[in-house]
Amino acid sequence: MKISIKFLLSALALVIVLASCKKPSTVIATAVSTAPTVAHGITKDTLYGTIKGTMVKNHTYYVTADVIVNKGDTLNIQEGVNIIMLNPDTTHLSGISFYIKGVLIVNGTQGNMVNFTIPANKINTSAPNKSCASWGGIEGDSSLYLEIHFANILYGGAKGDGKVSLGGTPQLGTNYAVSCKSGGTLILEDSRIAYYGNDGIRTENGVKATILRNTFEYIGLTGGEAINIKTGTTGDFAYNVIWSSATNALKFNTSSPVILPETNVNVYNNTVVNNGFRNPAKPGNGVLFDLFTSGNVYNNIFVNCKQGLRITKGATGADLTNTHYGNNLFFCTDTSLKAGFYPAGDAGTVQTTDLFMVDPKFVILDKNISNVLNLNDVHLQSGSPCIGAGNKTYNADLGAYTSDGQGHK
């Protein structure tokens, strides 16, 4: 059968028109890599200094000093790679890090994750919080692309040693598990950040962020947030499980007095447990919207948190006109915490769609808020009130583990 070129062109034009009429979604389900890949394999066992290429599948590498990926270069890390950080400063006063000025792509898989960790004999298994700050983190500079899938990032958060500069500034301050400090793209999915001396995630200055289906455990010794988002960051923060952050689980602000561009985010279907008790100077929140932040906060679960959802007001508060929230669950086993579900004196108030002082029916809830081991299983039992209680723009259920399979793995 002959088909004319004219007919084919007409059909192609119709497909393009129909595609262009599709309504864009405001909820990001997952990120798609647009970064280049690099074939050159890195086979040597010991790493330090400037590197690029591919850290090859199932190989173990030992890092003895700061690693730097220069602007224009790409570092690929394949599934099953083990990265052992041999920090020369055993006092934990400073730590070696990965400094990314170019592109980093970490491609672990659910059954074969990438590991950033310390030697096994340096891990205090009964009190792993004592192993915090044993190295730095993955620190991003301007004009970068960070994409991380299925990685364990453990026992870091020490200060930089000042030997590397980002944006012209020697890195002497606290390192974070993963940071983007000036623009660029950050994608973190299906990963675990645990026992960190300070923030788990930190972004600044217009980063485009996608933070989905991750686990954060024991973040910050006496201060620090699991997710700390600043100055014009935009993106989605969803299906994360956050247990025992020192201060805030998810903190969002722009800056003062510079209020544009605003930090604008979707924060939905996160499960936050035992949060905000280790910072003596500040009560911690499950979610904090502050300093001209705008966005949407829906379908989250807050259990045994010092404070729940805080939305500040006033001259340096959140952008209340463009902030929307509801369908969040609040529960505590210590009734003295109930007053902090929506802290007094702020803009946040109980919504008719909220589940207020309702047990989410986790499989296991550890009521000991000072425990340094996570004994919780925050999957939902059959018949949980969280099932079907969500804002369906995001998900029909509440929390990170949803019945449709879209949530945490």
Q: What pLDDT shows up at residue 4?
A: 43
396, part of any domain: no
Closest CA to 138 of 122, 115, 110: 115
Evaluate if residue 171 carries a pLDDT over 90: no
118, part of any domain: yes
Q: Which domain holds residue 259?
A: 41-380
Q: How many folded domains does the chain comprise?
A: 1
Judge contact between 139 and 100, C-beta under 8 A. yes
Q: What pLDDT shows up at residue 94?
A: 81
* Each residue's pLDDT tens digit, 260-288: 889 999 999 999 999 999 999 998 999 99
Range with the lowest mean pLDDT among 104-108, 254-258, 293-297, 320-324?
A: 254-258
CA atoms within 13 A on the CB side of 356: 13
Average pLDDT rounded to a whole number, residues 317-339? 97
Does residue 297 or residue 142 have the better pLDDT? 297
Q: What is the mean pLDDT of the chain?
A: 89
Average pLDDT rounded to a whole number, residues 6-25? 37
Average pLDDT rounded to a whole number, residues 137-142? 87
127, part of any domain: yes
387, part of any domain: no
Q: What pLDDT shows up at residue 279?
A: 95
276, part of any domain: yes
Evaluate if residue 164 carries a pLDDT over 90: no
36, part of any domain: no
328, part of any domain: yes
385, part of any domain: no
